[in-house]
């Protein structure tokens, strides 16, 4: 399973590496004359594609966050023991399940953007120079990390392992083995989870779904006296897990917005 906390850290790493590249470019002071015009055009195109995929991911995070409103309605109605409120709670549960199950067309159709990002791994090189080679190697690492994380996010949000990309980094890079091992572990875990029939790889979302499924039969009719304690415990559990999901999504939203701003600033500067 994948936690929203892990996704937040992954997004933080993308922000950090992009900032590191900006710092490196400033430190080596590579003159613009050393840059191939075609390379600059492709670099700018990549920035646009990354902005596009940021918008895709932000739309899905917002979609998941909207589901929290239905959970709030559920909890509000469960505070009353009346049959009328239980009917409303059941309706809100159904609304939540339908909302979460609905597909986001932006996420479903983001494969084209991912394919373009993969193509960007083989870019025209700057004119031969020590500084140019240093920059190319650094930027290659940033691109590999970015493409890999984006494919993982796409798979997690879509619930489809077909969005995963298996990148092969050659051994000439010191970090190649570490990356290949990490990629194999992460992609393998996602494939295992999705092939098992689970609808999501998101730990916090599955936790909420599990307690909702457990609670739903209890609110089909009035809660029996013998079930009151179990009902109260389940309601408290739902409140806690819904809060964890909402909080995780909020933190991920902030990181995604930060990455978008870094990309936008870099694009405008260029």
Is the pLDDT assigned to residue 76 strictly greater than 70? yes
The model's pLDDT over 202-255, given as tens digits with 9 standing for 90+, comes to: 999 999 999 999 988 888 766 555 577 888 899 999 999 999 999 999 999 999
Q: Angle at CA 13, nearest 5°, toward 12 and 17?
A: 120
Domain count, the chain: 1
Containing domain of residue 28, as a range? Answer: 4-269
Looking at residue 34, what is its pLDDT? 55
Looking at residue 125, what is its pLDDT? 60
Which of 35, 13, 12, 11 minimizes the C-alpha distance to 135? 35
Q: What is the value of pTM for the model shown? A: 0.89
Looking at residue 225, what is its pLDDT? 52
Looking at residue 269, what is its pLDDT? 47
pLDDT category of residue 83 using cuts at 50, 70 and 90: confident
Is the pLDDT assigned to residue 257 strictly greater than 90? yes
Is the pLDDT assigned to residue 268 strictly greater than 50? no
Looking at residue 44, what is its pLDDT? 74
Looking at residue 130, what is its pLDDT? 81
Looking at residue 249, what is its pLDDT? 97
């Amino acid at each position: 399973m994948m936690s929203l906390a892990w996704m937040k850290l992954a997004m933080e790493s993308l922000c950090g590496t992009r900032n590191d590249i900006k710092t490196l470019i400033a430190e080596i002071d590579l003159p613009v004359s050393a840059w191939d015009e075609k390379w600059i055009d492709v670099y700018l195109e990549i920035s646009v594609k990354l902005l596009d995929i940021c918008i895709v991911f932000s739309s899905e995070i917002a979609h998941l966050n909207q589901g929290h409103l239905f959970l709030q309605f559920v909890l509000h109605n469960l505070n009353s023991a009346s049959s009328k409120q239980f009917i409303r709670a059941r309706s809100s549960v159904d609304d939540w399940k339908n909302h979460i199950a609905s597909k986001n067309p932006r996420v479903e159709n983001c494969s084209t953007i991912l394919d373009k990002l993969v193509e960007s791994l083989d870019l025209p090189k700057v004119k031969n120079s020590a500084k140019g080679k240093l920059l190319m190697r650094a930027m290659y690492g940033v691109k590999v990390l970015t493409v890999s994380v984006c494919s993982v996010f796409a798979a997690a949000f879509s619930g489809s392992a077909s969005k995963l990309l298996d990148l092969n980094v050659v051994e000439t890079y010191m970090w190649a083995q570490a990356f290949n091992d990490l990629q194999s572990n992460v992609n393998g875990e996602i494939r295992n989870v999705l092939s098992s029939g689970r609808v999501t790889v998101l730990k916090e979302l599955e936790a909420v779904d599990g307690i909702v499924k457990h609670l739903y039969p209890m609110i089909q009719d009035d809660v029996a006296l013998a079930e009151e304690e179990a009902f109260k415990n389940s309601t408290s559990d739902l409140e806690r897990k819904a809060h964890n999901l909402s909080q995780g999504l909020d933190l991920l939203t902030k990181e995604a917005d930060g990455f978008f701003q870094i990309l936008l600033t870099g694009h405008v500067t260029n």
